[in-house]
Amino acid sequence: MFAVYADSFANSASDPLTGLVVGERPDPVVPEGWTTVTVKAASLNHHDLWSLRGVGLKAEALPMILGCDAAGIDADGNEVVVHSVISDPDWRGDETLDPRRSLLSERFQGTLADQVVVPKGNVIPKPASLSFEEAACLPTAWLTAYRMLFVQGDLKAGETVLVQGAGGGVATALIALARAGGLRVFATSRDEAKRAKALELGAHEVFESGARLPVKVDAVMETVGRATWSHSIRALRPGGRIVISGTTSGPNVDDAELTRIFFLQLSVVGSTMGSRAELAHLVTMLDATGLRPVIDRVLPMTEARAGFAAMAEGDIFGKVVFTR
């Protein structure tokens, strides 16, 4: 079948795409209790670039079909959204807390292909109101944003939140979901055009990365890491919280701001993906409200390399979606 996969890891820090292949892989074998989803649309995540750099993916797992996110048609003919967190069959409860859990494209083959196989419990009905392209944006970036804001961040309507790095897939989801959830939304971006788009998307105020904010915020949503960490800590009111799910600019901060963290009694909360139940709530929220993912571009999956390159250059606002 057609597939977009990692054949090797990048041999230089500057070009992550050296191991990317757009080609053919064998048809999947379907384990007992799993289902085959014929992929109609899949979206790209920074995770796919990390995989090409050998982060979170073992060499012995290569070649590995990339992609965490898909929407398509399952073996029974249902339109579905794929939940990417694969937990141990014996695990009960929040799958993100299973120490043996993995995301599609880490241990099991990913979604950038004609077909992907997943446990039957990992498909969620796709409402007719969502297109396949829109639904394909939800399982990673949008689910991560939902959990950061409303589960790990425990944010309530009327609170103020700062979203760092407005242009990304997670960041655009954070801005849109925070606005829909009744929050006052501040966002930063390095890029003036992206700041303008963030305002259109629902941010109340936008700022250059690192700029002083007019008021301290209740919570910061952090996915950038090294480049914004210090600013995130300094933006918080006493007792505020920072929710972190990524480190795009690197994990090794110059100053962890430990003194501020204890003196101002700040909380640092990690967040990773979300549970199947949270994905179902997110899907229902979009169906009920009309809120839709921000899609930067839709490309045929055969042109996946161009989408990867745009993400590697940071040249996107929202999600890159591939169709079959």
Ligand X SMILES: NC(=O)c1ccc[n+]([C@@H]2O[C@H](COP(=O)([O-])OP(=O)(O)OC[C@H]3O[C@@H](n4cnc5c(N)ncnc54)[C@H](OP(=O)(O)O)[C@@H]3O)[C@@H](O)[C@H]2O)c1
Interacting residues with ligand X (CB under 6 A): 45-47, 50, 140-141, 144, 165-171, 189-191, 194, 209, 223-224, 227-228, 245-249, 272-273, 311, 314, 316
Which of 131/245 has CB closer to ligand X?
245
Tell me the C-alpha distance between 63 and 42, whole Å.
19
**Separation between Cα atoms, residue 229 and residue 19, nearest integer Å:** 31
Residue closer to ligand X, measured from CB, 74 or 81:
81
Give the Å distances, CA to CA, from 190 to 52, 82, 214, 224, 246. Answer: 25, 33, 18, 12, 17
For ligand X, give the closer residue by CB, 85 or 118: 85
Question: What is the nearest approach in angstroms of ligand X to the Cβ of residue 316?
Answer: 6
Q: How far apart are CA 153 and CA 62, in angstroms?
A: 36
Question: Facing residues of 43 across strands?
Answer: 321
How many C-beta neighbours within 10 Å does residue 18 have?
14
Residue 110 or 167: the one with the smaller Cβ distance to ligand X is 167
Give least dist CB 231 to ligand X, A.
9
Q: How far is the CB of 229 from ligand X (least distance, A)?
A: 10
By C-beta, is 115 or 172 nearer to ligand X? 172
CB-CB contact of 269 with 245 (8 Å): no
CA dihedral sign, ordered 164, 187, 70, 272: positive
In the complex, least distance from residue 98 CB atom to ligand X, rounded to whole angstroms: 14
Residue carrying the six token digits 């055009």? 193
Nearer to ligand X, 74 or 311 (CB): 311
Helix (H), strand (E) at residue 276: helix 276-289
User: What sections of the chain are H helices per DSSP?
Assistant: 46-52, 132-135, 143-147, 169-180, 192-201, 229-235, 258-263, 276-289, 304-312
- Least Å from the CB of residue 310 to ligand X: 9
- Supply the minimum distance, in Å, between the C-beta of residue 101 and ligand X: 11
The two beta strands, 85-86 and 236-244, are unpaired
